[in-house]
A and B are shown apart, each in its own frame.
Chain A
Amino acid sequence: MGSFGMIIGTWLAGFLTFAILSFLYKDNPFYKLAEHLYVGVSAGYWLIYVAFFDVEPMLVRGFLDETGIEKWILLVPAALGVIMLSRWFPKTAWLSRWPIAFTVGVGAGLGITANIQGYVVPQIQATLLPITGLNMDSLDSLILVVGVVTTILYFYFSKPHKGILGGAAKVGIVFIMISFGASFGYTLMARLSLLIGRLYFILSDLLHII
């Protein structure tokens, strides 16, 4: 890409940045144009992404490069993919349930193994830290255990929140509210960081003021 292309690109990016920011005043045609362009370009981008990183190497390259059973077995996902397109024809649309069932089956199978292996066990392991004596780390470890257990108990609705469960749920809500507040603050700061990035782009790359 030459320098002329970069200049055109920078002006285009600047125009689109202002078009999106114009929504702060009110909904207007420039915002609508940028919004629709974003949807269209993103759809095209992901289509190319999936074709280049998934379908081409896994199906097309796989079929051309492999031999024997490894080659022909690729016809199964190819057939499932083509059957998925049967939704285009009302009479055969019901056939698309087969590939949907396959994707749901993969999701459900991974839902069991990946969740237990990736979330439940590691999170419990990381929570049950040793108490090494009367120090700040041990206190933090203890607070962590109390926080995790009481948060889980807060979401346990099979019994009324009375007695010990009610008390634990009340402790749980303290942790949950602190967590939501912290997540809110963290998210807002991340968004502000993006805004600073855009303002820096306008003042530096586009207008050369700083």
Chain B
Amino acid sequence: MRRAVPLAITFLTGLFLVVSFFIPHRPFGELEQRLLVWFAIVAGFTMLLGVDNLIRSHARKITRTSEGWGHSVVLLVGLVATVVVGVIGRVQFGSPFHLQSPFMFIYSYTIVPLQATMFALLAFFIASASYRAFRARNWVATLLLVSAVIVMLGRIPIGAAMSEFFPWMQEWIMTVPQLAAKRGIQIGAALGAVSMSLRIILGIERSYLS
């Protein structure tokens, strides 16, 4: 029951999806869509587990008054307030995502600026890390450095003002050598994912049961 049933569920679910791809007729044809809907529903319940874990971990910090417990209070207040406001938006406007809903106020004035600034902050860290790491030690490292500089200069007005070569060259790098390597990596990764999926369906890979 503890191992055989999950292995059977994985095998049958995976098999049904593969079969529905090759036999797009009833009853298999609609199976893929149905299983995807079920997947979304189960994933929705999984979200509860994640949020519960977050709440427990921070509630523990607050009850033990561990270091930084005040921040945990902020986190929990933010979480609860967002959920409550979302429910209010659902009841009041029919959707929490209605433009007049207070939920969208939280989204526009809290999540958007926090997320954008957090990613913008990375610009500084990428720049400082590259300043330390980028050294033309050998010819392949030089290639990386030159390629990065051309792409950066080619995407800003000053690059075009310096020479028409930079925008043209960055376009060529992005559409030919960059694309070639990216495709090679993507094809390799996709083939790897296919083989890993086969191992999971056939029950050879069982680490998800531990």
A45 with B82, Cβ < 8 A, contacts A105-B12, A177-B140 known: yes
A144 with B179, Cβ < 8 A, contacts A97-B2, A175-B184 known: yes
Point out the residues of chain B lying under 8 angstroms from A182, CB to CB. 147-148, 151, 170, 173-174, 177-178
Q: Contact at A148–B180, with CB atoms within 8 Å?
A: yes
Once A and B bind, how many residue pairs between them come within 8 Å at the CB atom?
Answer: 400
Chain B 55-87 interface residues, beta-carbon cutoff 8 Å to A? 68, 71-72, 74-83, 86-87
Q: Contact at B17–A152, with CB atoms within 8 Å?
A: no
Most buried by A among B111, B114, B118: B114
**Mask for B183-210, Cβ within 8 A of A = 1, else 0?**
1111111110110111011000000110
Q: Contact at A106–B17, with CB atoms within 8 Å?
A: yes
Interface size on A, residues (CB 8 A): 115
Q: Give the distance in Å from the alpha carbon of A120 to the alpha carbon of B41 in the complex.
A: 29
A112 with B83, Cβ < 8 A, contacts A120-B190, A182-B151 known: no
Candidates A99, A120, A123, A178; contact of B144 at CB < 8 Å: A178
Q: Smallest Cβ distance from A35 to chain B, in angstroms?
A: 8
Candidates A151, A181, A192; contact of B151 at CB < 8 Å: A181
A101 with B123, Cβ < 8 A, contacts A76-B38, A77-B41 known: no
Q: CB of B49 within 8 A of chain A? A: yes
Interface size on B, residues (CB 8 A): 123
Q: Contact at A184–B148, with CB atoms within 8 Å?
A: yes
Chain B 9-59 interface residues, beta-carbon cutoff 8 Å to A? 9-18, 21, 35-52, 54
Q: Contact at A149–B184, with CB atoms within 8 Å?
A: yes
Candidates A33, A77, A104, A194; contact of B38 at CB < 8 Å: A77
Q: CB of B156 within 8 A of chain A? A: yes
Give the dominant DSSP class at A's interface.
helix
Q: CB of A41 within 8 A of chain B? A: yes
Q: Contact at B38–A148, with CB atoms within 8 Å?
A: no
Q: CB of A89 within 8 A of chain B? A: no
Candidates B48, B96, B145, B181; contact of A179 at CB < 8 Å: B181
Q: Contact at B47–A109, with CB atoms within 8 Å?
A: no
Q: CB of A108 within 8 A of chain B? A: yes
Q: CB of B105 within 8 A of chain A? A: yes
Q: CB of A207 within 8 A of chain B? A: no
Q: Contact at A41–B120, with CB atoms within 8 Å?
A: no
Q: Smallest Cβ distance from B121 to chain A, in angstroms?
A: 6
Q: Ordered nearest first, which 5 A-B pairs have the shortest CB separation?
A: A147-B180, A109-B17, A151-B184, A44-B82, A105-B13
Residues of B within 8 A of A (CB): 2, 5-7, 9-18, 21, 35-52, 54, 68, 71-72, 74-83, 86-87, 90, 95-97, 100, 103-124, 126-127, 130, 140-141, 143-152, 155-156, 170, 172-191, 193-194, 196-198, 200-201, 208-209
Q: List 26 A-B contacts (CB under 8 A).
A: A16-B110, A16-B117, A21-B121, A40-B77, A45-B106, A48-B96, A52-B95, A77-B38, A80-B38, A81-B42, A82-B45, A101-B9, A104-B200, A105-B11, A105-B201, A106-B17, A116-B190, A120-B187, A148-B181, A155-B185, A179-B185, A181-B144, A181-B151, A182-B173, A189-B156, A198-B120
